[in-house]
Amino acid sequence: MTKADLQSILDDKTKPVGSLGRLEKLAVQAASVLGHEQTEEAAATLTIFAGDHGIAANGVSAFPQEVTGQMVANFLAGGAGANAIANTLGIPVTVVDCGIATPPSGRSALVNMRLGEGTADSAKGPAMTSDCARRAVDQGRRYGVDLAGKIACFGEMGIANTSAATLVVHKLSGLEIAKLVGRGTGLDDAALSHKQEVLECAAKRTGQLAPLEVLAEVGGFEIGTMAGAMIGAAEAGKLVVVDGFIATSSAALARAIEPACAKAFVYAHRSAEQGHRALLEWLEADPLLDFDMRLGEGTGALLAVPMIHSALSLFSMASFSQAGVSGAETVAS
């Protein structure tokens, strides 16, 4: 069924045409991916991809690298912001180790997709090998295809991942580093200026690159794996809910690798990170929410799920004929 057919179904519901605004647009997009027979009960999941970044050694984050593993332990214990929101919504959370430098021990619930103990320092050389970049996308793609549920929310964790995301977006889009670099975990002005210098240096190492080359040169294990998961989930007929700056950098990479996957992407929110705003404009994406959030973890994606459920529920409305309600009259000119 085409989007025009789906919109026609909504136009025949007991309401003025277009009166539910962007909720109708969301309903049409979601139904075009999932089918209009889906209801607000379409099951959602959250996957958090975690990995460390060698570029963190340059002091581009306010937090030390070991926080990645510590926060992963917090996710697994149910104590993070993503857990709190997911629990409220009844959405299961899965955490994937794509390459944590110091992973938490004795955590059987942690999904192992390790590609190394964090990437190399992309300010000095490639973040990973070409083979590793392909493996990241391929393993994510398989994960996305096999993922349960119909609505796939993706989040991330990794100290210095805003730096990797900035470089990925810069190489894919050509947007200036100065327009993309942000405070991440809370850098002050001096630290932000230093971060920009480091990223400018990393960016100058290479010229124009193909998508997988971008991932290899400046990306992250979790960014590549999440990009693959987005592709796989879209190929399997799932709706992909894109979170903040890092997740959207993965979405941009996924679109560059497999453009057809973009039709399944719902952009959940506009982050407070300036780079996210610039990236969304470049992608011509219109996010659902703008709450000045910048936590990541998939928190913004989770908040979009009730809106998606509400949008899909519109197809259960009665039509004018079913309800015995007179439709709008055609006024002769």
Residues with catalytic roles? 297
CB contact at 8 A, 308 and 301: no
Count, in order, helices (H) and strands (E) of the chain: 14, 6
Beta bridge pairs of residue 56? none
Cβ partners under 8 Å of residue 211, min gap 6: 172, 253, 256, 257
Closest CA to 247 of 295, 309, 195: 295
User: What string of H, E and C letters represents the secondary structure of 37-91?
Assistant: CCCCCCCEEEEEEEECCHHHHHCCCCCCCCHHHHHHHHHHHCCCHHHHHHHHHCC
Token pair belonging to 133: 């970049």
Q: Where are the alpha helices (DSSP H) in 205-273?
A: 211-218, 221-235, 245-257
